[in-house]
Structure 1
């Protein structure tokens, strides 16, 4: 049963479900380890009872030791005392082994849950799911638990081992009282302990809803912590002089998260626990009265009864090794289950099951495509029609927010059209195997990957099967104009692209962009036949940009390979002068194609393209130091700051 279905359960059914889930998690730790842990827990629970019986026997023998060591029962006294001390020593020796087993169980369970979280996060579910605030809260909770910031599922599962020992000890103590005093006394002490225990767990359960309502505050707190410690962000924070503001904001968000919990804790852990103590006092008093009324009890029975009564009375307080872990550790697992459930409901059946149908090659068409990121959000695309012909190059230009980057996301099936469809050779791409379709694409967004891995890994991920082919890697790197970057690295292709590692090296923005381009070109070398570059030269200087477009769109090596392999090339750029060689230039405005043609055709039409081209040309020719502020049309497309980046930026858009 999913956690969503459990939400409507009655309290008893919900508790049964939670405990069943925790016991089910133990299977991931392995039966032998769990069996050893439980056996050790039972042994540790019984050893104090052995001490109680032995000390009761000591109390019984002491009155007869009138002659000290010369007394007849002296050897018996020493033997029984040795048993009591030995039980205590063995208990102290075995306790660390139990701690180690519990931690190992927790790590194994958490590893299994982490695998599930990674599998879910890296699935082919629509990225629109990561727009959902509830999903972001759920993922943040799961990530925090597995990063040991919160209690984890492994903590909950591992805590069951010592908890079993607690109950074994309770039953044993009640049995001792029942044997040496009376069955009624044993039943009273057992009932008293269970009533107190139910109250303690009920109190803890009231903390859970409060904790769940604090999802947004918790996520903001984690985000601000990362903001204060992430390299690359902290330098700008310092330059802006907002360290004090950030410190105060982090303090405020932390207090907004902690204060509601403190308030509830103070209320729940005062009077309720006074009541539990009163219940324990009443139960203990009843047992002591029963002891006092029984004039047949000897010193052994009295000693055992008085000691054994104290064990059940401990059930009126929370168990530090169990209660917090079992109450809160399972929440992250429930968060993981909710995330998986949302993924299953959001992922189309065809995407989940896949298909063996071959992916056709041919003309790609956007047919009356409408799209918006949220059901109640504004339309980004409004009936867009576009045709991409194999072996040709298409440049998509337009003002900020026109939907250029969104078009490429739909092409890659990171999102699905709200209305309309995208076809290849007449087949709706939604009917094609998702993985096979994406292997056809070599696509780089403005927010491209910057992996703290070697050059080989950063480039080789474009076509993993070519990762170990140094010649093909070098070819892609050279085509992207990144050979100068790699040649300047101490370990060449093996250099880690991060200064945070020994022998590593940080790259500039322009150098990183060349590495990203090389990755896309390696994908083409590996068989991809749709090459899409979103603002590929945003961080290159003017000369490097001109050289790139010469290679990509005009008569350079990349363009020649594209024509030879019938590669469909698409480039998004805000600089109109650089896209002149494209076979087709498409102007997008207000979510639809408003103009298309060659550069000369669009200039002759004297429409929007001509207007913006002339505007940019005029600015490049201007030498005046009094030029106005830069034209906003020259900025990168803001819709490239996509919703899916919200997960790494604290969930804000």
Structure 2
């Protein structure tokens, strides 16, 4: 019941916020339509009595009243639908916006590493489209409550024992509520398998992965895994559905017994002369209406229970209010000293393994720093920490002496240009793909063209019909298809849109390019960053496996199992005989 009330409260609150006038109009129209139904039964009783008494005049007027009420019953819900349908769409849009805002409510990414958070988010995304119809369910449920209240009054006036009939109608409602709780719990238990099943479906049907699956002849393996995951999820949910069906059937049987008892009571009174034919017609009509009301209410409650669970999951995403914006330190306008890591360790949420372990490192202002190491050494994690996307598990990161944890994270991130290894491919306009790097200049064509040239991506614009306003990708329209390298160049152009950056972080910025193209690109990029370094003391952070690019950096740090094993220039490290020299010699032999 708590979940149901939460759904009703939240849906009405959002509807009032979206359009209170439209909601009021829909409520009034639906109230007229729903109250017409029991009044029809009352008119039929009086019409029957008048007909038996051969009172043609009264019978005629009652027939006209019945016809009018039938018109109101049929038409008012239709006119109300015109109001609440668009209101339901506005509610869904409002909830979608809230989910996006909650997902990005924190400056960090810690919550995305929690399996529980991922499952909650997946369930919300799956259920949100259903909330569009839930406002209608709330309004109809309210109409049913009014309808049943009037029905109860009419039955009670005829015989107080008949008030038990609406009470019998409450039994299947309670049973249906319990049944839906069982189904919701089963869905939560099956959420990991369902999420994996959807992932396998996407992998097996997405163009970027289908070619590898086809060449590897892995269709059958994926199909078996997909079937196994869905079978496990179906067993859990199917068992709950069966139990829920039994509960609902038991509730309906209790109501059927009450329905039969009410008919028996009134017919018995009519036979003994204690009730007229009109009373029998009234009870039969009202009892059949209650049957319809109960079955309708069960369907509405099922929908609203689901909506209530969605609202509860949204509340889980919101979590407790955290006021971490008080007394935050502004980031410096320019870097004069640089960035220092003091005994920084980091473990991802839910894991005890230290990805970084007691890292101490000084990065002077204006330095181009390269980070190298084998896979899993912690290179990308170090970049994310420096970008403020995570906070160290222990230790601290200082920016010109100020602890980054105490700085305004959003402000720091706005002064950071980044391109990650798993860069975004935004199937939007070309303008949007670049301009999102600095939203204030989304419509600044000269700035966008400058970023394209800096990323050597002018040819991308040339092949996109419509230029900057042309669509990319085929997912949402007939847009231009790009290669992996072209998408990556657009990601680089985004990073270059930042004005007066204090740090530019490039995590494998040209992994889709060949070694020669990467070297040329980084040379050009280094020249552009030199201006920013001179102006703001900006630090350039580069993660790459290609030593032809790495050797251009002012300073190179080598990570090994989450620790700093070496630090120095290319010449120093190449002559040091350590891991860097070993990796460098190996790559030289491969390319020679």
Output the TM-score relative to the length of structure 1: 0.82
Deviation at 1:192, TM superposition (A): 2.8
Indicate the SS of the match to 2:141.
Answer: helix
Q: Counterpart in 2 of 1:371?
A: 346
**Partner of residue 93, structure 2:** 111
Among 130, 149, 156, which residue is 1:178 paired with?
156
Instruction: Encode CA deviations 1:117-141: one digit per residue, 9 max, x unaligned.
Output: 1111122243121111111111011
Equivalence map 1:51-450=2 (5 Å) = 51-65=40-54, 73-146=55-128, 148=129, 151-152=130-131, 154-179=132-157, 181-182=158-159, 184-270=160-246, 273-274=249-250, 276-282=252-258, 284-286=260-262, 288-289=264-265, 292-293=268-269, 295-314=273-292, 317=295, 319=297, 321-341=299-319, 344=321, 349-350=323-324, 352-353=325-326, 355=328, 357-359=330-332, 361-362=335-336, 363-450=338-425
Does residue 613 (structure 1) correspond to residue 576 (structure 2)? The answer is no
Q: What secondary structure does 1:236 align onto?
A: helix
The structural deviation recorded for 1:564 is 5.4
SS at match of 2:557: strand
Give 1:531-550 correspondences, 5 Å limit: 531-550=504-523
1:34 is aligned, of 9, 19, 23, to 23
Higher mean alpha-carbon deviation, 541-550 vs 16-25, is at: 16-25
Task: Please give the secondary structure, in 1, of the residue aligned with 2:340.
Answer: strand
Q: How does 1:619-638 map to 2 (within 5 A)?
A: 619-621=590-592
How far 1:416 moved relative to its partner? 0.7
Partners of 1:407 and 1:379 in 2: CA distance: 12
In structure 2, stretches of 5+ residues that fail to align are none
What SS class does the counterpart of residue 322 from structure 1 fall into? Answer: helix
Match of 2:492 among 517, 520, 525: 517
Could you tell me how far apart the structure 1 residues matched to 2:476 and 2:8 are?
Answer: 44
Contact 1:28 1:112 in 2 (8 A): no
Assess, with a 3 A threshold, how the Cα gap between structure 1 residues 403 and 317 changes in structure 2: closer, same or farther.
same
TM-fit CA distance, 1:56: 2.0
What's the CA shift for 1:394? Answer: 1.5
- Give 2:546's match in structure 1, choosing from 572, 575, 597: 575
Is the 8 Å Cα contact of residues 391 and 566 (structure 1) preserved in structure 2?
yes
Greater displacement, 132-141 / 234-243: 234-243
Q: Secondary structure at the match of 1:33?
A: helix
Tell me, yes or no, if structure 1 residue 481 matches structure 2 residue 456: yes
- Which 5+ residue runs of structure 1 have no aligned equivalent? 1-11, 66-72, 622-653
1:599 equivalent to 2:570? Answer: yes
Residue in structure 2 matched with residue 626 of structure 1 by the alignment? none
Q: Partners of 2:230 and 2:327 in 1: how far apart?
A: 45
User: Equivalents in 2 of 1:114, 1:58: separation in Å?
Assistant: 52
Q: How does 1:485-500 map to 2 (within 5 A)?
A: 485-500=460-475
Q: TM-score, normalised by structure 2?
A: 0.90
Aligned residues: 588
Cα RMSD (Å) of the superposition?
2.8
Q: SS state of the match for residue 297, structure 2?
A: coil
Aligned equivalents of 1:377, 1:217: Cα separation in 2:
25
Q: Cα offset for 1:467? A: 3.2
Deviation of 1:33 after TM superposition, in Å, equals 2.7
**CA contact 1:155–1:329 (8 Å) conserved in 2:** no
Matched residue of 2:208: which SS?
A: coil
CA distance in 2, matches of 1:423, 1:239: 49
Deviation at 1:433, TM superposition (A): 0.7
Which residue is equivalent to 1:644?
A: none
CA distance in 1, matches of 2:469, 2:251: 67
Matches of 1:286 and 1:189, distance apart in 2: 7
Q: 1:517 and 1:209, CA in 2 relative to 1: closer, same or farther beyond 3 A?
A: closer
Counterpart contact for 1:200–1:317, Cα < 8 Å: no
Residues 1:549 and 1:274: Cα distance change in structure 2 (over 3 Å):
closer
Q: 1:99 to 1:241 in 2, by over 3 A?
A: farther
Separation in 1, partners of 2:181, 2:247? 16
Q: Is the 8 A contact 1:45 1:169 kept in 2?
A: yes
